[in-house]
Amino acid sequence: MFIIGKILTMIMMPTALLVETLLFGLLLRRFLFGRALTTLAAAALAFCLIFPVDQWAIRPIEDRFPQIRTPPGHVDGIIVLGGSIDCLTSEDRQTPVTGAAGDRLTTFLALARRYPDARLVFTGGSGDIEQGVTTEAKWVRLLFESLGLPDDRVIYENRSRTTRENATDSFALVHPKPDETWVLITSASHMPRSVGVFRKAGWHVLPWPVGYVSRDRLRGYSLSLGNRFATLDWAAHEWIGMVAYRLRGWTNTLFPKPEKD
């Protein structure tokens, strides 16, 4: 099921759908339907180039949980989700290689210093289709050690493949108490789905979103169509993920939101 989910997600990304529509259109270009598909793909490409569609798609997700402006006085634990390390490149180069979500790790280190008595957890095995090659926890451990974070301060969960498993496997590992304050660090666009599965696991965390990619002012948005499609694909990944998680009963709500005080 894990592999099927990965493949379905890949073919449903906006970039993939555009390419698929264009290819079908070219293959059927002798027919009116084929020419219509080609025109549709070209129009969609032009629309994404002219308008900030990527920002429209990802902004509501990133804004779902507010930034933490006033840190709490006491924190019992801090958990950071995987997704910051390029596992296969790290394995190939034999050195930790961070990706676009590196803010998760830098924020984790900053909070580890702010709260020296807090329990620290990193959760991340491998989200790749081919399992058993390497794990993200392996490379994060090396990175943290090189940056001065003692190895015995961090609990490493290295088997999870999905966000749901991040929550369930970590819960089983650390057994958080109901009255404890645990900070959850992940990218702002990943936070709603993450909070949903943590709550379902019985873990009511304090969301600490990082790694924003959307802006209030759209003037000066990226002229790179590649960058825009990367953001649009990530937004689509999260929207699709929230729907899939809700349908499978892994979250209690479709679009988790902050709890009332």
84-131 residue pLDDT tens:
999 889 999 999 999 889 999 999 999 999 999 999 999 998 766 566
pLDDT of residue 218: 58
Asked whether residue 101 is domain-assigned, the answer is: yes
Contacts (Cβ under 8 Å, ≥6 apart) of 30? none
**Is residue 53 in a domain?**
no
CA distance 58 to 34: 31
Q: Taking 70 as the threshold, does the pLDDT of residue 3 lie above it?
A: no
Enclosing domain of residue 91: 70-212
> For residues 163 and 99, what is the distance between their CA atoms, to the nearest angstrom?
17
Provide CB contacts within 8 A for 201, sequence distance 6+: 167, 168, 171
pLDDT value of residue 223: 63
β 182-187/206-210 pair status? parallel
CA–centroid distance for 252 within its chain: 19
DSSP letter string, 57-98: HHHHHHTSS---SS--S--SEEEEES-SB-HHHHHHHTS--B
pLDDT at 107: 97
Q: Supply the pTM of this predicted model.
A: 0.91
Q: Which of 50-59, 78-87, 209-218, 225-234 has the lowest mean pLDDT?
A: 209-218
Q: Quote the tokens at residue 196.
A: 């949903």
Residue 9 in domain = no
Categorize the per-residue pLDDT at 192 as very low, low, confident or very high, splitting at 50, 70 and 90.
very high
Euclidean distance between the first and final Cα of the chain, in Å? Answer: 38
Asked whether residue 151 carries a pLDDT value surpassing 70, the answer given is yes
In a domain, 12, yes or no: no
Which CATH number do you get for residue 163?
3.40.50.620
The percentage of residues in the chain with a pLDDT greater than 90, rounded to a whole number, is 74
Higher-pLDDT residue of 261 and 250 is 250
Give the total residue count for the chain. 261
Of 195 and 100, the one with more pLDDT: 195
Comparing 28 with 133, which gets the higher pLDDT? Answer: 28
- What pLDDT does 118 receive? 98
DSSP letters, 229-250, are HHHHHHHHHHHHHHHHHHHTTS
For residue 37, name the pLDDT band (cuts at 50, 70, 90).
Answer: very high
Q: Enter the DSSP assignment of 156.
A: E
pLDDT in tens, 177-188: 999 999 999 999
Tell me what the mean pLDDT of segment 210-238 comes to. 83
The pLDDT tens digits of the residues spanning 48-76 come to: 888 889 999 999 999 999 999 999 999 99
129-132, Cβ contacts within 8 angstroms, sequence gap of 24 or more? 129/3, 129/6, 129/7, 131/161
pLDDT band at residue 137 using 50, 70 and 90 as cut-offs: very high
Overall average pLDDT of the 42-48 stretch: 91
Instruction: List the structure tokens of 233.
Output: 């694909």
Q: Is pLDDT above 60 for 172?
A: yes
Residue 118 lies in a domain: yes
> CA Rg, the chain, in Å?
20
Mean pLDDT of 128-156: 89
Q: Is residue 80 part of a domain?
A: yes
| Structural domain contains residue 239 | no
**pLDDT at residue number 203:** 96
Residue whose entry in the numeric block shows the structure tokens 């329990």: 119
In a domain, 244, yes or no: no
The answer for residues whose C-beta is within 8 angstroms of residue 181's C-beta and 6 or more apart is: 72, 74, 75, 76, 77, 206
Read off the tokens for 35: 């020419």
Count the domains in the chain: 1
Can you give the pLDDT at residue 180? 97
